[in-house]
Amino acid sequence: MIDKNIIGTGLTILTILGTFIYTQGITSHKMESFEKDINTQSIKINKNHEEINDLENTQIKIETMMKERFDKIESLLMEM
């Protein structure tokens, strides 16, 4: 007959191996989902940087237009 200690040891080893394989699968899945999230976030960040640059360019254009108009008003006032 097989000794009960050998059966217990075998079951313990199988349980440890099963747990190890299960945790490896979960870890692998989490890493994949983190990579997807990182890629999504980097795309969003790049898009936000582009929008900020566009807004800064628009602000510069508006400031330039305002300066030109104030200069025009100033010249008109000086002529009066």
Which whole number is the average pLDDT over 21-43?
A: 88
Q: Which residue has the higher pLDDT, 73 or 27?
A: 73
- What's the pLDDT at 61? 96
- What's the pLDDT at 5? 82
Burial of 77 (0-12, 13-18, 19+ CB in 10 A): exposed
> Please, what is the average pLDDT of the chain?
90
Residue 1 has pLDDT above 60, yes or no: no
- What's the pLDDT at 4? 79
